[in-house]
Every structure is written in C-alpha cells, then in structure tokens.
C-alpha cells in the first residue's frame, strides 16, 4: 500500500510520495520490499495514488536479474482507502496474500508470521509492535483462544478487540497494529466493490463481528512509522545501530561513530548521529548533529545544523545556522542564513 500523501512530512512530500522519502539513502518502501523478498514472496503489487508515476518508475527498477521478483504498480483513479485499494486487485489475489505498508521502515520475519497464520487457522493475521505509549496508535487486544477473554499481557494470540488512539485509562494493551497482514481471499470479498474502505477502521471490525478468527503476533526486528521528520532521524539511528543484524544489504559507505557517509559523498566537517547521502558535500568547520542530508546537497563552511532533515539538491550557504528545520527539495539558502523550528518548501 503506497497511496498516501504524507502530509505530516511536508515539504519533503510536496515533490515525492511518502514511500519515496529516503532513510540511509534508500526509499522507505524498499525496506518492506526486502522483507517480503526475504520471505520468498516473488510477486509484489504496489497500490499508488498521490504522485504514483514516481513509484511506477522505481518499482519497475525492481524487475532485474538480480531481484527474482515480478513487481508492478496499480494506480488508483480516486482514493479508495487501504482495503478499497487492495480490493481493486481481487482478480490477482486468489490465494493467501500479504499486505504491507509501503510508507513504514519495516524489517522482520514475514515467514514466521505466515506460519502462525496457517497454524492458527485465522482468516487474518496481523503483525504487532510493542510501544511504550499506546495513546498515539491503534491498539490491539488479544486472547489465548478464539472468542476468549482479553488478556492485556499477551504478545501473540487471537484478536478480540481494537481501540484507536486510546487515552491512558482506556489502553488495555501496549501492542499496536504494525500495518502488515496475512489475509485470506474471502476476507477481501467483504469489501464493497467501488467503495472507499479501510482495513483497521472498517474491515477488521467487520471480520471480528462475523466471528471469524483473527490472529496476531508481536514482531522482532525494525519497525517505524515515518510519519514525522523526527521519526526519519530516529529510524536512521536504529538502522545504523542494528546494521549487523539486518537481513538486507545497506548502501555502500562508511558507518562510523553513529554516522553514515555514502561512498560518493565528501565530508570535511564534523558529524554526530547524522547521515550524508549520495553525492553530498559537507565543507570544513561545519557541524551536523542528528541530521539527515539527502542526495546531492551542499553544505558550506562554518555551518551548524542540528535536528534537521534536508531534502535533495539543497544548497546551504556558509555560516548558516539551522535547528529543527525541514527543507524541501531544491532550496538554496544564502550565506549566514538562520532558521529554527520551521519548514522551508521549495520555491518551485
């Protein structure tokens, strides 16, 4: 599923769909694609809406001799919702299928989830992620048996309840929907044809109401909903820290002291917790602290940048000071620019 606009990531998503926003120099959709390939899934359909032409070109690049998969894009004419967009593909989905979110950084064992799905006899199996604060997410309640009583301590079991963004008092668990599902075709048939429809808000409650078994399992690995620029920075830190255990290749470059510098980048300044992507240049006496610098950027001398996400093809004049800033693609900042707690869109 890759049809969202990513409004909270603007201005980065003014020039690209959310799944094409980069972490460690790779579009976030590539991380879940890699997890699917690791699970021996060989056919991938990407449902798109907003700026789908960029995704179509990118997905076509997956079909190479190095990647034995068959991938293509299905462009929505109008927004159909998460379940509605998948319903459009019902002619292709005639056996058990996997649905993943293309706008999350996700890497975990999908095969283990498929095994649990088959062993439990479920119509739907959902990947879960454990969080400290469940109030910002949709939480899931589990039971040890189908149609059994809720047990908030379980980390896998049969789904018996949902709650969207509960208060602290309402939270009956701290496991959330991680946006990856194993689904049987008869479940998809419940989605009204031609109607905008959502998995978590409409379809899954309908499956529960029918009494069909739904299973869920808390996953180990990496999962981030990169809906906010700060989550892009947090995701890059996690990927750098866990790089030795990740099941997919990372881009070529140097990982050192919590930083990543692409092999095609040049850095003469000082980095701390930062990523410098392909074909970037960071001049001497500049300091970058918790920064994501996307491809083809230039940072002049004596700049200080912290807690910021910089889009592609951005030029930052020497002596500039940026703190908690998000800059869209193609922006040019003059010398000694100073910005704090703001978002700077491209002038195009």
Return the closest-CA partner of residue 210 out of 193, 196, 195, 190.
190
Assess whether pLDDT exceeds 70 at residue 6. no
Name the CATH superfamily for 251-344: Hexapeptide repeat proteins (2.160.10.10)
- In percent, the amount of the chain with pLDDT more than 70 equals 95
Mean per-residue pLDDT over the chain, rounded: 87
- The CATH class given to the 7-229 domain equals alpha beta
Average pLDDT (152-164) is 91
Tens digit of each residue's pLDDT (9 = 90 or more) over 274-317: 999 999 999 999 999 999 999 899 999 999 999 999 999 999 99
pLDDT at 66: 63
Structure tokens at 288: 């970058």
Assess whether pLDDT exceeds 90 at residue 34. no
Return the closest-CA partner of residue 55 out of 27, 85, 26.
27
Three-point CA angle 334, 337, 338, nearest 5°: 165
- In percent, the amount of the chain with pLDDT more than 90 equals 41
pLDDT at 325: 94
The 3-state DSSP class for residue 264 equals coil
Beta strands 138-143 and 156-164, pairing class: antiparallel
Flag the least confident range among 34-38, 214-218, 261-265, 278-282: 34-38
Assess whether pLDDT exceeds 90 at residue 203. yes
Q: Where is pLDDT greater, at 159 or 243?
A: 159
Average pLDDT (25-39) is 83
| Domain-wise residue ranges, the chain | 7-229, 251-344
Assess whether pLDDT exceeds 60 at residue 348. no
Flag the least confident range among 82-86, 203-207, 305-309, 312-316: 82-86
pLDDT at 114: 92
pLDDT at 259: 92
d(CA 279, CA 263): 8
pTM, 2 dp: 0.82
- Which residues, other chains included, contact 308 with Cβ-Cβ below 8 Å and sequence gap of 6+? 290, 291, 292, 322, 323, 324, 325, 326, 327
Query: Are the C-beta atoms of 224 and 238 separated by less than 8 Å?
Result: yes
List Cα–Cα distances, 305 to 193, 292, 333, in angstroms: 50, 10, 13
d(CA 114, CA 120): 10
């Amino acid at each position: 599923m890759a049809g969202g606009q990513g409004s909270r990531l603007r201005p980065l998503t003014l020039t690209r769909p959310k799944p094409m926003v980069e972490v460690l120099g790779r579009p976030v959709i590539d991380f879940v694609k890699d997890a699917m390939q690791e699970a021996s899934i060989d056919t991938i359909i990407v449902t798109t809406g907003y700026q789908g032409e960029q995704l179509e070109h990118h997905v076509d690049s997956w079909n190479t001799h190095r990647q034995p998969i068959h991938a293509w894009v299905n462009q929505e004419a109008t927004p159909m919702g998460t379940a509605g967009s998948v319903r459009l593909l019902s002619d292709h989905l005639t056996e058990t299928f996997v649905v993943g979110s293309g706008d999350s950084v996700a890497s975990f064992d999908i095969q283990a989830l498929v095994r649990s799905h088959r062993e439990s006899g479920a119509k739907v199996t959902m990947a879960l992620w454990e969080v400290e604060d469940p109030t910002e997410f949709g939480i899931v309640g589990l039971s040890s048996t189908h149609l059994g009583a809720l047990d908030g301590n379980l980390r896998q079991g049969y789904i018996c309840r949902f709650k969207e963004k509960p208060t602290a008092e309402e939270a009956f668990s701290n496991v959330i929907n991680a946006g990856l599902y194993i689904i049987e075709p008869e479940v998809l048939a419940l989605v009204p044809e031609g109607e905008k429809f959502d998995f978590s808000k409409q379809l899954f409650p309908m499956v529960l109401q029918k009494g069909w078994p739904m299973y869920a399992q808390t996953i180990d690995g990496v999962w981030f909903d990169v809906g906010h620029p700060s989550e892009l920075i947090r995701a890059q830190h996690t990927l750098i820290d866990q790089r030795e255990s990740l099941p997919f290749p990372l881009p070529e470059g140097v990982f050192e002291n919590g930083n990543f510098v692409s092999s095609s980048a040049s850095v003469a300044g000082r980095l701390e917790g930062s990523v410098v992507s392909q074909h970037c240049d960071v001049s001497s006496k500049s300091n970058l602290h918790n920064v994501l610098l996307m491809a083809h950027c230039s940072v002049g001398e004596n700049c200080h940048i912290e807690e910021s996400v910089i889009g592609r093809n951005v030029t930052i004049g020497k002596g500039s000071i940026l703190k908690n800033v998000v800059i869209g693609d193609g922006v040019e900042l003059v010398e000694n620019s100073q910005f704090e707690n703001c978002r700077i869109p491209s002038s195009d």
